[in-house]
Amino acid sequence: MARVITVAVVDDDRMLLDGLRAWLGGVPELRLVATAATVGELLGAADGHLPYGAGAPGYTPPGMVPPDVVLLDLVLRDGSAPTDNIRRLLRTGSRVLMISTVPDRSRIIEAIRAGADGYLTKDHDLPTLVTAIKDLATGRGAHSPELAFACAHDSSPARPRLSPRERQILLDYASGMTLKSAARRAGITVHTAKDYLDRVKVKYQQAGRPTYTKLDLARRVREDHLDGG
């Protein structure tokens, strides 16, 4: 039997919350365990569904399990900063899917930099939302056209400009291939592949995001959604 994915929603639009309850209620693989108007309300379990306890950022009492995925509205009426909301939720162990009415490129990038695992606009249909939630729950990123567009046009200094060959070697190596296998796949020597990988590391170092290990490289791939096409 497939594992049921637990979901919480933080949004101050009551009509949207009611709609999501109806939508997700019809998906047997998902279980909506909590809704809240603010992150503080969710962490403090004002609705009683998720008794996180004191409501302090990242606090989870013994025996309390946070939801697998939290759908978080980008802009809440309490004036809270989206980046702060994302970080608070990530500290509980949940993965965060941003939802918004508009595909604001700068805000998408800011949310991804803060650690959000995906970004969807609210005009997507239920199958797209369900797929995104499942992807996040299994450790993948939630790709979408708006996210791909924002990442492709991200010119911030924190995102290094990689050549096609540098990107190819990075993706293959970070996915688990040996450098020798990545070189063979690219049709180049191991020495040349190492040169490309070293250039990637230098570029991330210069961007203030060092990559000392293969795990670091894999993390950068996820953060920059380099595998999202």
Confidence at residue 124, expressed as pLDDT on a 0 to 100 scale: 82
**Is residue 159 assigned to a domain?**
no
Same domain, 95 and 171: no
CATH number for the domain including 176? 1.10.10.10
Domain co-membership, 130 together with 49: yes
Looking at the fold, whether 129 and 55 belong to one and the same domain comes out as yes
Domain end (from 152, 184, 213): 152
Residue 132 covered by a domain: yes
pTM of the model: 0.63
CA–CA gap between residue 193 and residue 167 (Å, rounded): 11
Residue 38 placed within a domain: yes
Half-sphere exposure of 56 (CA within 13 A, CB side): 4
Q: Are residues 142 and 104 in the same domain?
A: yes
pLDDT in tens, 71-112: 999 888 888 998 999 999 999 989 999 888 876 677 777 787
Same domain, 63 and 143: yes
Q: Is residue 104 part of a domain?
A: yes
Alpha helix positions (H), the chain: 14-25, 39-44, 82-90, 105-113, 126-137, 145-152, 164-174, 179-186, 190-206, 214-223
CA distance 9 to 20: 9
Domain boundary residue among 152, 184, 199?
152
Q: What band does 139 get if pLDDT is binned at 50, 70 and 90?
A: confident
The pLDDT confidence band at residue 142, using thresholds 50, 70 and 90, is low
| Pair 71, 147 in one domain | yes
154 pLDDT tier (thresholds 50, 70, 90): low
Count of domains for the chain? 2
Domain boundaries, position 177:
164-223
Token code pair at residue 72: 């978080």
| Coil vs helix vs strand at 81 | coil
Residue 157 in any domain: the answer is no
Residues 66 and 171 grouped into a single domain: no
Structure tokens at 134: 């499942």
Are both 58 and 82 inside the same structural domain?
Answer: yes
